[in-house]
A and B are shown apart, each in its own frame.
Chain A
Amino acid sequence: MNVLQLAWKNILNKPLNLLLNLILFSLGIGLISFLFQLNTQIKDKFDNNLAGIDMVVGAKGSPLQMILCNMYHIDNPTGNININEAKPFLNPRHPLIKRAVPLSLGDSYQGYRIVGTEHSILDLYKGSIKDGRLFEKSMEAVVGSTAAKKTGLKLGDTFYSSHGFVQDDDAVHDNVSIKVVGILESSGSVLDQLILADTKTIWEVHEHSEENHAHSDSLEQKEFNLLDYPDKDITSILVQFKNRTNFQALNMPRNINENTDMQAASPAIEINRLYDMVGVGTNALQILAILISIVSAISIFISLFSSLKSRKYELALMRVMGAGPSKLFLLIILEGLILAVLSFILGIALSHIAMYLMSGSLSEAYKYDFDAFRFINKEWALLALALLLGFIASIIPAFIAYRTDIHQTLSKM
């Protein structure tokens, strides 16, 4: 029966106080930890998917929407751009551009977006084929790992795309089927959530449904090159510069915005703008969580403090039995710290359970898989915070216990 065990038994002896303190404290800790998780994982997701992209060129509209749509696939396109106008940026001999990946959006399968693009998109996101091969001609598709898992698409399967982002039976292009020729390795990027095909596939799907086979022959060519179709549209171009600090490269977005019908935006700038906007909300939540933690520290203080009143004979008795004042001090501090550790464990468990329960709906909303069992270093900082609050809450009661006077206490019996 040492002091730690005694502190533990003292805490268990007041189950209702214990419950109240645990609920309050773990709620605070859990909320902070949940926000840490959410922030870190969303930020990681945005950062992972920056993928070295320096500029996105698309139709005029909201630049943030254009970035969210074309890089993170969580918003609708701003519109389309004409290949003729986009030509200079698709030219492989452009002196400033290292890589330009065209995207054509607009269709999806079971909520997973079908992207008409080129093989170079895999270089951008460091994706690779796990099973099968890359798309070689139109109406062939390569499926991202999460999309494959969730839709159940396998090599050799065929499927019908549907218009827009949500599964809607009325919008299915049910006259042309797309064949799965490859499955991608999981890359942790947005590729996992996409179905990739060539640009022609997107055109064909739409032209088939709109004009009923009218143009199908014109697209059947051996070597497909976007630049051969100046009158057609794509949604956007993801651009990597050869040298992103080059003066001309830095000015390119402004030139595009001022001199063309297209708009260009820098992902890093737009994402920072998004952080700033959303940050206000998470800041408010963080303050709320910290307030809850402070209230819980006060609640621990009050329950320790009021327990001293009924325990003053116990404490004096411990002194009679040979305990020095510092032992009583330690006892009360330990009671505060045990509560803090229990709350920390419970709070972290709560936040990860919440993350687990919400990861389904979060991954739909953000097109990203959240990992409920990922532990981040900041959570250890929370342990330090919890211990600090426990210590602060117990230091005054501990000091009062330290000053217990045997004679004065016991002569009032």
Chain B
Amino acid sequence: MIKTEGLKHSYSGEHEIVFPDISCMPSDKLMILGKSGTGKTTLLHILGGMLYPSKGTVNIGGQNMYTLAKSKLDKERGQNIGVIFQQSHFIESLTVKENIQLSLKLCEKSSDDERIHELLNALNIFHKKDNKTSQLSQGEKQRVAIARALIKNPALVLADEPTSALDDSNCEEVLNLLTEQSKERNAALILVTHDNRLKDYFEQKIILS
């Protein structure tokens, strides 16, 4: 589970953004909505152990993330948090499958071909497993990004505008896969977006302003 308390952030003394407290149980789905400039990405990075907040705590699975030593934080982030970005970036020199294997290697989890194939199959991307990621379409890329985030069975999945680069049909498919697969793995899913198509998709919503 994930729990935040009194999160505030300001960039080098500029005006402080105050974030509402968040609490998510395993398998919960939470949507964070907000116009650009309201600190959506900042919040997501704080939740994901990528940015030290000016104030407040982030608690994931009982660990207070920002009191950990830096190397421990790197490890916690790798093992417990899967992140999907608006524009998926991959290691260009690697194939789809190798990218997924690398994500396991970097968080020191063992690589299991069968599990990888299963997940790629479920995401309907198995046939592209030996392609370089530059050869994929946007929709395919997002599905690979989902596979990469979920293969390590994280406690928390963070998605930053995962659908904004997709057309309507791809948008729906990607979103369905994301929620299904997160639920199957008992992972809490937090989705940050300003995409109006998603508005009614999640029950739990936080609106930043």
Contact = CB atoms under 8 A, between A and B. Distances in A.
Interface of A: 1-2, 6, 9-10, 12-13, 311, 313-314, 317-324, 327, 406-407, 410-411, 413
B103 A321 contact: yes
Contact of A1 (B42, B48, B87, B94): B94
A375 to B, nearest CB: 34
B91 A411 contact: no
Nearest to A322: B78
A199 B204 CA distance: 112
Nearest to A10: B93
Contact of B50 (A1, A13, A313, A320): A320
Interface string B62-76: 000000001100110
Interface in B12-58: 41-42, 45, 48, 50-51
A406 B51 CA distance: 8
A407 B51 contact: yes
Contacts of A313: 89
Contacts of A1: 94, 98, 101-102, 105, 111
A406 to B, nearest CB: 4
A110 to B, nearest CB: 58
Contacts of B98: 1, 9
Contacts of A317: 89-91
A9 B91 CA distance: 10
A24 B82 CA distance: 42
B181 interface: no
A406 B102 CA distance: 18
B105 A411 contact: no
Given A411-B45, A413-B87, 8 more contacts: A2-B105, A9-B91, A9-B98, A318-B102, A323-B106, A324-B70, A407-B50, A411-B41
A314 B89 contact: yes
A410 B77 CA distance: 15
B118 to A, nearest CB: 19
B83 interface: yes
A10 B94 CA distance: 8
Contact of A320 (B71, B75, B77, B94): B77
A322 B107 contact: yes
A9 B102 CA distance: 12
B91 A319 contact: no
Contacts of B77: 320, 322
Given A1-B98, A1-B101, A322 B75 contact: yes
B66 to A, nearest CB: 13
B126 interface: no
B91 A6 contact: yes
Given A1-B101, A410-B50, A410-B85, A314 B106 contact: no
A317 B84 CA distance: 10
Nearest to B103: A321
Nearest to B87: A413
B94 A322 contact: no
B195 interface: no
Contacts of B45: 406-407, 410-411
B50 A324 contact: no
B92 A311 contact: yes
26 contacts: A1-B94, A1-B98, A1-B101, A1-B105, A6-B93, A6-B102, A9-B93, A314-B90, A314-B92, A317-B89, A318-B102, A319-B50, A321-B102, A321-B106, A322-B106, A322-B107, A323-B106, A324-B74, A324-B75, A407-B42, A407-B45, A407-B50, A407-B51, A411-B42, A411-B45, A413-B87
B79 interface: yes
A319 B74 contact: yes
Given A6-B91, A314-B90, A323-B74, A406 B106 contact: no
CB-CB nearest 10 A-B residue pairs: A322-B78, A13-B93, A322-B107, A407-B51, A313-B89, A406-B50, A9-B93, A321-B106, A1-B101, A324-B74
A9 B48 contact: no
A13 B99 CA distance: 14
B92 A13 contact: yes
A144 B5 CA distance: 94
Given A311-B92, A314-B89, A322 B51 contact: no
B130 interface: no
Contacts of A413: 85-87, 89
A388 B129 CA distance: 38
Contacts of A321: 78, 102-103, 106-107, 148
B173 interface: no
Contacts of B86: 413
Most buried by A among B78, B98, B108: B78
A190 B22 CA distance: 90
A320 B92 contact: no
A317 B48 CA distance: 12
A137 B136 CA distance: 88
A327 B87 contact: no
B103 to A, nearest CB: 5
B15 to A, nearest CB: 17
Nearest to A2: B105
